[in-house]
A and B are shown apart, each in its own frame.
Chain A
Amino acid sequence: MDFANNPSFFHQGPRPGVRLALCVLLSVALLIGDSRFSLMEHLREGLSVVLYPLQRAVNVPFAGARHVIDFFTAQAELKAENDALKNQRLQMSAQLLRLATVEREYRELRQLNDIKSSRAEGGQLAEVLYTGRDPFSYKLIIDKGEDAHIRPGQPVIDSQGLIGQVTRVQPLTAEVTLIIDKNHMVPVMIERTGARAILYGYGGGVEVRYLSNQADVHQQDLLVTSGIDDLYPAGLPVARVGKVERNTGAAFARLATSPMAGVQQSRFVLVLNQKQHVPARPATADAKQNATE
């Protein structure tokens, strides 16, 4: 019989001192073997394999509890996360759109700046404030006026080509008549041949009238300002020939043309300064020009 308070006078087996010496010796041997020579790796591996099922068994309830907690929190968390992500996506797309706009503006400005510095006469950068409200005329209002010494007659271009002409100037703003406006004419020449013509706006587009049936003009020909009349500097791209229709019954060829510039798209425009030192116009200039057409 064994009791907790049973004093044990008789020890079985070797005496405690001997046992201790044996165990200490073994332990020290193990310690040295493990730390110095890594001899115990195999034994450790074996024991850990034995302990592995225990570890797994101990882990199971905890992992299960975590699973259950996860299951219940996941729903709310996912919902919140989803909402946050959606919100973020909206903001991002808005930012992206703004970025695209800004990039476009930046490109436009760069190109305009290049043109400005490349042209001898110089010009002034202006922003389009709004388009005219009158549906019958094609006009733009820009944010430069008398304060910037804009005068009627100055050509207005964007990075692609001619847009129109300043026709009215207010103290702070100016009105630009677009080349597609009815009654607006631009003296042009076909860049390839140098043949001169007049480009008429017809309200929403441009066309070349009164070009003889035999005139040398092809599709994709570029029409540039001819510089005649001293109003527009020579060489500004204006329009491209789309389709040439030669009707034997008619005296003139019909040319479908489209403006080069983003006439109704550009946000920034360049108002070119007019040439200085223009010699006085001879009295018969109009008559002569009419004859050439």
Chain B
Amino acid sequence: MSFDRPRELLKPVKRRFIYLTFAIAILVELIPLPAGSTRWLPDLIGLLLLYWVINQPRRINIGSAFLLGLIADVATAGLFGQHALAYSVTSYLALMQQRQLVMFNLGQQALAVLGLMLANQAIMVVARMITGAAFVGWSYFLPPLIAALLWPLLTKLLLLPYRQHSV
């Protein structure tokens, strides 16, 4: 986790690649998994969204976050608008701090992502509770922890195709 990661010279990111990663994330969300795995599985769409908001703020911003949130709402059969709201707010927060976040090393970024993902869950919990659902318990905040742990891996993985020497 050295400071030189952001200074690494990378090839330009193609728009197609971004869409592809989102498509994969949505597909993963749709995989029929055994009941109970949703308690610890991180929200991949949200994590990926944060990644692109932090690294490609000019292409992926609040509008895309909102649209992705709508798709996530349908995919997870949640309340319409809960993911949209949460993603919009967190991507705004990320966007505000984007210039610092890019300079952080992976560990610091992971911490920031943890906070953002927790905010995500918190917004959704509040939205659901205001619309009349019961509190689901503190285990609802476990997936952000796992998402933050996955952050370095995700970053390495998504940078892989754009390293100069990988050509």
Could you list which residues of chain A lie within 8 angstroms of chain B, going by C-beta atoms? 1-5, 7-8, 11-12, 16-17, 19-20, 23-24, 26-36, 40, 43-44, 47-48, 51, 54-55, 57-59, 62
Contacts and interface: CB of A to CB of B under 8 A. Distances in A.
A9 to B, nearest CB: 9
B102 A7 contact: yes
Given A7-B102, A58-B31, A2 B84 contact: no
A34 B9 contact: no
B55 to A, nearest CB: 5
B39 interface: no
B156 interface: no
Contacts of A8: 57-58, 98
Interface stretch (B41-49, B67-75, B109-117, B142-150): B67-75
A17 B89 CA distance: 10
B63 A58 contact: no
A34 B85 CA distance: 13
A20 B30 CA distance: 28
Nearest to B159: A4
Q: Which interface class (under 10, 10 to 19, 20 to 34, 35 or more) fits B? A: 35 or more
Contacts of B62: 16, 19-20, 23
Contacts of B61: 16, 19
A2 B63 contact: no
6 contacts: A3-B12, A4-B13, A19-B62, A27-B82, A34-B81, A51-B74
A12 B96 CA distance: 15
Nearest to A41: B80
Given A7-B99, A23-B63, A12 B58 contact: yes
Given A2-B58, A16-B62, A23-B66, A31 B6 contact: no
A27 B74 CA distance: 14
B92 A44 contact: no
A54 B26 contact: yes
Contacts of B10: 3-5
B7 A27 contact: no
Closest 4 pairs (CB-CB, A-B): A30-B81, A27-B85, A35-B131, A23-B88
Interface string B102-123: 1000000000000000000000
Interface in B12-32: 12-13, 26-27, 30-32
B154 interface: no
Contacts of B88: 20, 23-24, 27
B79 interface: yes
A19 B96 CA distance: 12
Tell me what chain A mostly uses at the interface: helix, strand, loop, or mixed. helix
Nearest to B133: A35
Given A4-B162, A47-B74, 19 more contacts: A2-B12, A4-B55, A5-B10, A5-B102, A12-B58, A16-B62, A20-B89, A23-B63, A26-B81, A28-B85, A30-B80, A31-B82, A34-B81, A44-B74, A51-B71, A51-B75, A54-B27, A58-B30, A62-B31
Contact of A4 (B6, B63, B69, B85): B6
Given A16-B96, A20-B89, A27-B66, A34 B79 contact: yes
A43 B74 CA distance: 10
A35 B133 CA distance: 10
Most buried by A among B31, B56, B66, B127: B66
A26 B84 contact: yes
B50 interface: no
B85 A51 contact: no
Contacts of A59: 32
A4 B27 contact: no
B125 interface: no
Contacts of B75: 51
Nearest to A62: B32
Contacts of A1: 12
Most buried by B among A11, A27, A48: A27
A245 B63 CA distance: 113
A115 to B, nearest CB: 67
A4 B57 CA distance: 9
Most buried by A among B63, B85, B89, B96: B85
Nearest to A38: B80
